[in-house]
Amino acid sequence: MSGGFALGREISPAEQPACLDALERAIRARTDLRPRVGLVLGSGLGGPADALDLEVAIPFGELPGWPPATAPGHAGRLLFGRLSGVPAVVQQGRFHLYEGHAAGFVAQPVLLMGRLGAEIIVLTNAAGGVNPNYRAGALMVIADHLNLAGRHPLIGPNAPDLGPRFPDMTGVWDAELRRRLHEAAAVEGIHLEEGVYACLTGPSYETPAEVRMLRGLGVDAVGMSTALEAIAAHWAGTRVCGVSLVTNPAAGLSGAQLSHAEVLVAAEAAGPQLARVIARFVADL
Ligand code: HPA
């Protein structure tokens, strides 16, 4: 355990400001870059990090209360630099519930990005395609989400200076930013779907029956991340948008078995397209 990190210990909203103070101090000792945009990269989605004009890379383990990332395909660093000329912070590797992390901890990086100055958070993930029309490699703008993780990052005493006790979620996925994502993709000649993302805890992939249930609930893509970060960032007043990279038809839709190795291969194959969309989106902010 590094820096007092305790796996799975719940972090209430009221505890976040002190955590963010310590994180901000540690980061300000290394860079005074003030990001306008924060980017969270999903499994195998390294492209936007490569496109970053890097100033400083801080391994998670060097930040107070943060552990080194463990999931394969997740590098575990916070990158500071310029993306398309815009000051940006990039979370290369995220914290997942399935690793044993608490919901409040999963959401802490996006709160940190807001604290450092980011006005916009872009969340990315690898996801299974529940919509039968999605092929592997499809990119989906997240229009809305279902938090089916049974966990929530805002449980416990609130921090009213950060956000309200009962935050509205009507506009969590910012309509204007979604429009801009589509515009950026059109400029790049890339097609974007738009749909509903469901977050489950994992780490198992879904059963075919679960996928049929999700489709019945109006879900288009399913994964193990993103929703908690979106909730927390929106709560704290940061604008949120996101894109899922569909790496595979969800369980039961193709007859094939799912493997993380194949998810990473598919993410790496389609990742450059997502990186282009994001670079253009940021350039036009
Ligand atoms: N289900 C959940 N998460 C995923 C999937 C999936 O099929 N593919 C990539 N991440």
Residue 157 resides in a domain: yes
Ligand 1 proximity of 248 Cβ (cutoff 6 Å): yes
pLDDT of residue 2: 43
Q: Where are the alpha helices (DSSP H) in the chain?
A: 16-28, 47-50, 103-106, 108-116, 175-188, 208-216, 227-235, 260-283
Domain count, the chain: 1
For ligand 1, whether the C-beta of 206 sits within 6 Å is yes
- pLDDT for position 1: 39
Q: Is residue 254 part of a domain?
A: yes
The CATH number given to whatever domain includes residue 120 is 3.40.50.1580
pLDDT for 16 equals 98
Whether this model's pTM surpasses 0.85: yes
5 within a domain of the structure (yes/no): no
- Token representation of residue 104: 């409040």
Q: Is the pLDDT of residue 21 over 70?
A: yes
| Catalytic-labelled residue, pool 224, 227, 266, 275 | 224
Contact 264, 142 (CB under 8 A): no
Side-chain-side CA neighbours of 64 within 13 Å: the count stands at 14
Whether residue 4 lies inside any domain: the answer is no
Q: Is 99 a catalytic residue?
A: yes
- Split at pLDDT 50, 70, 90, the class of 135 is very high
HSE-CB at 119 with a 13 A cutoff on CA atoms is 6
**Structural domain span for residue 121:** 13-283
- Predicted confidence at residue 5, as pLDDT, reads 77
**Band of residue 6 on the pLDDT scale cut at 50, 70, 90:** confident
Q: Which of 49, 51, 84, 96 does the annotation list as catalytic?
A: 96
